[in-house]
């Protein structure tokens, strides 16, 4: 039985995750405060600049609570890719914290600078199949292909109400999300140059034998730096990641971060698998 560790992205935060980090890895609290410039946990709802590093640390703490297992596969949703690369032995913890703090800040700044970006979630039995019918007429793009029943679109905020109406006409439920930018879309392009420069200075390691799956390609990471940069402006292909892992023999999925978001998505996408949330 193959196992995959799953590292969540934004939206998985819980009220008690700082306490969990303090109990399991108190050293991370100082490291992340230095990287962000302050403790990000009290401000986790103030934007992605704080949410990303806080969730990343909580995910590392969850992994450490399991005694740092090295499974056959690891994968991460959006910012969770950095946690998966740490667990896979490709990135050091310190570099991961620095990168996720920078990534969160750059994405928040890109969203605020643009000022007119937003996201809308499509929910329903055939959301994945019909997402393009909603996105294309309104100049939106798929940001998160999460499960057969959940897809998130990104693009100009002014286009979201019309997209919401189109979705409902197609029999889908739609919800405009309270976010500050069109994440995982071309509207994040201003975040790319600085993040690319930071990645160029980071040492990458051969890994510890765990295969890390990219959420950009739904394949094992090839060029780690290129794929992490591409993830800023490209979609999270999470449904395809889960299907790819299952096709590789994974029947046990362990979500190590806060919350149970990824376990829920796996339950909606796969059958006859074991789901564990830490």
Instruction: Give the domain CATH number at 124.
Output: 3.30.70.250
Catalytic residue among 77, 138, 184, 246: 184
CA angle 242-192-97, nearest 5°? 65
212: enclosing H helix or E strand: strand 211-213
* Eight-class DSSP state of 171: T
Q: Does one domain contain both 128 and 220?
A: no
Q: What is the mean pLDDT of residues 9-28?
A: 95
Q: What is the mean pLDDT of residues 14-36?
A: 97
| Long-range pairs, 213-217, Cβ under 8 A, ≥24 | 213/4, 213/73, 213/74, 213/75, 213/84, 213/241, 213/244, 213/245, 214/81, 215/75, 215/76, 215/77, 215/78, 215/80, 215/81, 215/241
Q: Does one domain contain both 203 and 231?
A: yes
Residue span of the structural domain in which 166 resides = 116-176
Q: Does one domain contain both 159 and 230?
A: no
Place of tokens 């930071």: 198
Dihedral over Cα of 81, 146, 239, 184: its sign = negative
Domain boundary among the residues 153, 176, 199 is at 176
Q: What span, in angstroms and rounded, lies between the C-alpha atoms of 183 and 117?
A: 8
Q: Does one domain contain both 20 and 89?
A: yes
pLDDT of 81 > 90? The answer is: yes
**pLDDT for the residue numbered 180:** 83
Q: Does one domain contain both 32 and 133?
A: no
Q: Does one domain contain both 201 and 273?
A: yes
Q: What would the pLDDT profile of 40-66 be if each residue is shown by its tens digit?
A: 999 999 999 999 999 999 999 999 999
Q: What span, in angstroms and rounded, lies between the C-alpha atoms of 168 and 225?
A: 39
pTM over 0.75: yes
Q: Does one domain contain both 133 and 230?
A: no
Q: Does one domain contain both 33 and 135?
A: no
Q: Does one domain contain both 102 and 219?
A: yes
The total of structural domains in the chain comes to 2
In the chain, the N- to C-terminal Cα span, in Å, equals 19
Please check whether residue 149 is in contact with residue 128, taking contact to mean a CB–CB distance below 8 angstroms. yes
Q: Choose between 125 and 150: higher pLDDT.
A: 150
pLDDT of 265 > 90? The answer is: yes
Q: What does 34-94 look like in DSSP terms, one character per residue?
A: HHHSS-SGGGGGG-HHHHHHHHHHHHHHHHHHTT----SEEEESTTHHHHHHHHTTSS-HH
Please check whether residue 25 is in contact with residue 271, taking contact to mean a CB–CB distance below 8 angstroms. no
Q: Does one domain contain both 135 and 76?
A: no
Q: What whole-number percentage of the chain has pLDDT above 90?
A: 96
For the question of residue 92 being annotated catalytic, the response is no
Q: What would the pLDDT profile of 140-165 be if each residue is shown by its tens digit?
A: 999 999 999 999 999 999 999 999 99
Q: Does one domain contain both 56 and 93?
A: yes
Give, in order, the Cα–Cα distances in Å from 121 to each of 126, 144, 163, 174. Answer: 13, 9, 10, 6
For the question of residue 138 being annotated catalytic, the response is no
pLDDT of 125 > 90? The answer is: no
Q: What is the mean pLDDT of residues 164-174?
A: 97
Tokens of 184: 């995982």
**pLDDT for the residue numbered 278:** 80
Q: Does one domain contain both 162 and 106?
A: no
pLDDT level of residue 22 (50, 70, 90 thresholds):
very high
Catalytic residue among 78, 141, 210, 277: 78
Domain boundary among the residues 176, 194, 228 is at 176
pLDDT level of residue 80 (50, 70, 90 thresholds):
very high
């Amino acid at each position: 039985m193959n196992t995959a560790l799953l590292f969540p992205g934004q939206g998985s935060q819980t009220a008690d995750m700082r306490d969990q980090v303090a109990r399991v890895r108190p050293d991370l609290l100082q490291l992340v405060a230095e990287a962000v410039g302050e403790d990000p946990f009290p401000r986790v709802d103030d934007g992605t600049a704080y949410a990303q590093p806080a969730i990343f640390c909580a995910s590392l703490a969850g992994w450490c609570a399991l005694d740092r297992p090295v499974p056959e596969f690891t994968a991460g949703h959006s910012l969770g890719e950095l946690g998966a690369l740490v667990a896979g032995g490709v990135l050091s913890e310190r570099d991961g914290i620095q990168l996720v703090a920078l990534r969160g800040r750059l994405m928040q700044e890109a969203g605020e600078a643009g000022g007119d970006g937003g996201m809308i979630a499509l929910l329903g039995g055939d959301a994945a199949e019909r997402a393009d019918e909603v996105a294309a007429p309104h100049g939106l793009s798929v940001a998160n292909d999460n499960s057969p029943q959940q897809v998130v679109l990104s693009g100009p905020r002014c286009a979201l109400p019309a997209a919401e109406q189109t979705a409902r006409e197609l029999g889908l439920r739609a919800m405009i999300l309270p976010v500050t930018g069109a994440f995982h879309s071309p509207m994040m392009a201003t975040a790319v140059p600085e993040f690319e420069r930071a990645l160029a200075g980071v040492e990458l390691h051969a890994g510890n034998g765990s295969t890390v799956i990219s959420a950009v390609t739904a394949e094992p990471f090839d060029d780690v730096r290129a794929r992490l940069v591409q993830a800023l402006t490209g979609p999270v292909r999470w449904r395809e990641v889960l299907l790819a892992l299952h096709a590789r023999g994974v029947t046990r999925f362990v979500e190590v971060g806060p919350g149970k978001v990824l376990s829920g998505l796996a339950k909606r996408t796969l059958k006859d698998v074991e789901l564990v949330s830490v």
